[in-house]
Amino acid sequence: MTTADFGVHNRAIEAEAARSAAASGRNNGNIEDQLRSAHELLRGQEIRGLIDSEAESEASAIRGTIEAVLADFADSVRKGEYGLATAPIAQRENAFNYLVSFLMSFASRAGTRERLHIFTTNYDRFVEAGAEAAGLYLLDRFVGSLAPVFRSSRLSVDVHYNPPGIRGEPRYLEGVARFTKLHGSLDWFDCERTIRRFAVPFGAASMTPFFESVPNGPLAARQLMIYPNAAKDRETAAYPYVELFRDFAAAACRPNHTLVTFGYGFGDDHLNRVIEDMLTIPSAHLVIVSHSDPLGRILRTYEHLGRHAQITLLVGDHVGEFQTLVDNYLPKPAIDRTTFRMSELLKSRWGTSHSETAPAHSPPSEDAS
């Protein structure tokens, strides 16, 4: 998330990025703020270019710079995946074991309970890789097999089954969760006015072959759907992100629901507003788990929200450390009814044994000294 170099326009873009970051309560701008500012600059030059040929050539230069920055940014995300995919076997297996335990601690639930809904602002595919290793089926808005297409009307699709010998409503199939990537993904592309997910392998050595493998012509880095996206018009710029944030608001702002944030620094106003509205529901609860709060945004948000009875704050390098959290604090990642029954039996037997072996309150013997 470090800043990038935008050439001759770098100074102006950095100034606007810093201004927008400060308006959002963040101290310094990052590459997302820069890209957002660069797209606004590009749009202004494109408008001027309608009557000024010099502005048109300037817009073309800015467009090329944005594409180069996006390509480098996507490659940095890919390198993160590549680092895990090519790690020594023991380390890779250990990492996936912890990731699977983390995901299944939340996803393991009885068939009568509401689905877990996972939201992430990351562009990488670590959650998808962990779900695949865990056998957890993720329901998102994409439909299809070869190059799935983003659909606005598919969120209600679920997986149910009828238990043998049971009549009535079907039950939720276990091992299924809903999944939403709020800021886009490394493998989402704007292709012929549709959003498609291409089969970019986890830990790919390069993105170039997948840019060139599109049947109707090679893709450009500007067609990557990573926020802020590089779409050509406002209609596509709002889509699919408006649908994704609507899903987040609909899932969070419901009675008797709990939102758990892990590693989120509360630097995105568009998410914070939804969380603030969620807490107006008295039965809603927010659990914040974070390794640290270097910029103080978490505590400022905690004080700003004001509903301390509805917020559980777990901040520190102990509980916020991934392995410690999985090993010591998260519940067992399985629906193990045998273990539940055994614990109940042991509890009842311990209570009976304890009462039987307790010393009786009888008067002392005459032989006692």
End-to-end CA distance of the chain: 80
160 and 28 share one domain: no
66 and 105 share one domain: no
68 and 178 share one domain: no
Under 8 Å CB-to-CB from 64, ≥6 apart: which residues?
none
User: Tens of pLDDT along 40-91?
Assistant: 888 888 888 888 888 888 888 888 888 888 888 888 899 999 999 999 999 9
What distances in angstroms separate CA 32 from CA 4, 57, 80, 152, 230, one per listed residue? 10, 25, 18, 25, 12
The one-letter amino acid at 75: D
Look at residue 31 and tell me if it is in a domain: yes
161 and 205 share one domain: yes
- Chosen domain end from 197, 230, 263: 230
What distances in angstroms separate CA 183 from CA 36, 178, 223, 225, 254, one per listed residue? 13, 16, 14, 8, 22
Q: How far is it, in rounded angstroms, from Cα 86 to Cα 276?
A: 41
User: Domain limits at 169?
Assistant: 90-230
What distances in angstroms separate CA 156 from CA 130, 152, 192, 238, 277, one per listed residue? 24, 10, 26, 21, 23
Look at residue 324 and tell me if it is in a domain: no
- Chosen domain end from 203, 230, 257: 230
57 and 162 share one domain: no
Q: How far is it, in rounded angstroms, from Cα 53 to Cα 59?
A: 10
Look at residue 326 and tell me if it is in a domain: no
Looking at residue 354, its pLDDT comes to 46
Confidence band, pLDDT 50/70/90 cuts, at residue 164: confident
133 and 16 share one domain: no
Q: Which tops the pLDDT comparison, 236 or 22?
A: 22
Q: How many domains does the chain have?
A: 2
User: Tens of pLDDT along 320-366?
Assistant: 899 999 988 888 776 555 656 666 777 777 665 444 444 444 444 44
112 and 52 share one domain: no
101 and 159 share one domain: yes
19 and 74 share one domain: yes
**29 three-class SS:** coil
Confidence band, pLDDT 50/70/90 cuts, at residue 171: confident
User: Tens of pLDDT along 90-105?
Assistant: 999 999 999 999 999 9
CA geometry: angle at 241 spanning 237 and 244, to 5°? 165
Look at residue 290 and tell me if it is in a domain: no
181 and 136 share one domain: yes
Look at residue 125 and tell me if it is in a domain: yes
The residues with which 261 forms a beta bridge, in sequence order, are 288
- Chosen domain end from 198, 230, 262: 230
Q: Catalogue the E-assigned strands of 124-239.
A: 137-139, 142-143, 149-150, 160-161, 171-172, 176-181, 184-191, 194-197, 224-226
66 and 185 share one domain: no
